[in-house]
Structure 1
């Protein structure tokens, strides 16, 4: 497929919708700034917990705990992680729509999400769709690898007890700095392109369940976990759904090609050095590189070297020997457009 279409967050096992979410050690820092949620009788955790409390404090049980005061309205204050905080703060809500090729909307404080599909599965059982994320003004969400202060979107789907393989395509992101750490994502409504490979015997499923997990941020961050249900065989010719899906795929970066791509030059001094090949007259604006399950990366930095366009990508962890030959997804953004591809480590 065009652009960057990747399995969810490298080889990580997709998250399942559940009343509680226990993060891995690598994600605890990313969840440390999420706010607790109020539990309602009908929908589970559905809204941010609001109590009278001192400014710049969060409620931990019945006690107010002060956290760092942000330096500006758009800054997100870091907080010390509590082992049970994610269990209190997930916005978990099944969104069961009508029998249609899109799910119902799942609403949270910062916006709404739904799954949309269009057309019927092809001969190989592949179905095109989109995860539509409508953000309210001032809110943001994350890219494939948001950096140290975010959570990448994950998407898992199943037809009955059979899992459907899913690839997510991401538009070119922007880089943000909340005063805590730089991160990559989007500050506007965005649709992520989905390619679902339906399991054998499920070419025309009656209903499909999707488990979605992502984060949305303003001056606070809210993790969103939802179960979205829809029928890919219903309303396959809906023009609204077709426009959403086509728009998601049209927004993807083009595949890297000779003369417009990136490659690893060397790994030296705790960083991966990447050289960008650009079309004549084009100017590189940014490079986004996704880490893996075993390799964490910092934000790329421009490196001056005569006429060459070089980026230095810091390694947040020591490069393990087993990382040799591993491939890293990247998106190269220029004033002439964006391309995506894979960087192979030496």
Structure 2
């Protein structure tokens, strides 16, 4: 009888342990897809942004040292912005790609905007039925560059169970995605801006406040793919970083007046995003 009791206790322990392990599932990841001087995969898990926990995937791109890839707006020297397609996915209502804050990279051909060595693009997922798995099928096209630029593409697939766990990698990537306004004093913010037409050559002047103005940078985007040149750093004022955008350099000010412009700001402490309109 004592032996039977021990066996029953052992079975109960094993069943309890198995249930706990099943309910505490971790994040999931696909195999790496190898390309020329790069590799890419999908990861997925739950993560929090703006205090809200949701299901995210991530397009994880890794390159050798010195190689780079591009942001959604590549910069003055041109480049290949990443493209994402989710056709063929199952139990997926929507997928929204988010972009970590980029950096200005000096290139032989000029300045570009992007990422060196590696980047993880978070993708906010909305399942059609949250109680069922999501089969995520992704086609990704992007460019990688060092001395030469190479177009690349990959086809990826990952099954994401409904009880998938929290992903620390996605949490870290989301922390680098600019919020629509500065979330705290450590993030740079647009203290003021104005349109200067005093010289007859219109320019947009951005006054950027932040915890680390010496490392501050700014990027301006117009809707519909309208080109806006990269801001150039001017003389700083009152501890803030001042940037100027030449609105005669490859852009007609009439094409952007009255349209929302997205201003992305970065410094050594954080990043933020805001919208302005030239009336």
> Would the TM-score normalized by the shorter structure come out above 0.5?
yes
Report the counterpart of residue 13 of structure 2 in structure 1. none
Report the counterpart of residue 38 of structure 2 in structure 1. 111
Equivalents in 2 of 1:164, 1:111: separation in Å? 30
Q: Which moved more, 1:254-263 or 1:217-226?
A: 254-263
Structure 2: runs of 5 or more not aligned: 1-26
Equivalents in 1 of 2:28, 2:212: separation in Å? 44
Report the counterpart of residue 76 of structure 1 in structure 2. none
Report the counterpart of residue 85 of structure 1 in structure 2. none
- Kept in 2: contact 1:205–1:231 (CA 8 A): yes
Equivalents in 2 of 1:203, 1:320: separation in Å? 50
* 2:272 aligned with 1:344: no
- Kept in 1: contact 2:213–2:241 (CA 8 A): no
Q: Which moved more, 1:256-265 or 1:335-344?
A: 256-265
Equivalents in 1 of 2:260, 2:30: separation in Å? 34
How many residues end up aligned between the 2 structures? 240
Report the Cα offset of residue 163 of structure 1: 6.9
Structure 1 segment 9-28 matched on structure 2, within 5 A: none
* 2:63 aligned with 1:135: yes
Partner of residue 210 from structure 1, selected from 129, 138, 143: 138
* 2:222 aligned with 1:297: no
Report the counterpart of residue 147 of structure 2 in structure 1. 219
* Residues 197 and 317 (structure 1), Cα distance of their counterparts in 2 relative to 1, 3 Å cut: farther
Which structure is larger by alpha-carbon Rg, 1 or 2?
Answer: 2
- Kept in 2: contact 1:144–1:290 (CA 8 A): no
- Kept in 2: contact 1:278–1:284 (CA 8 A): no
Equivalents in 2 of 1:101, 1:210: separation in Å? 15
- Kept in 1: contact 2:90–2:136 (CA 8 A): no
Larger RCO (CA under 8 A, 6+ residues apart) = 1
Report the counterpart of residue 326 of structure 1 in structure 2. 259
Structure 1 segment 183-194 matched on structure 2, within 5 A: 183-194=112-123
Aligned-CA RMSD value? 3.4
Equivalents in 1 of 2:93, 2:87: separation in Å? 5
Report the counterpart of residue 196 of structure 1 in structure 2. 125
Higher helix share: 2
- Kept in 2: contact 1:103–1:116 (CA 8 A): yes
* 2:240 aligned with 1:311: no
* Residues 204 and 101 (structure 1), Cα distance of their counterparts in 2 relative to 1, 3 Å cut: farther
Equivalents in 2 of 1:279, 1:266: separation in Å? 21
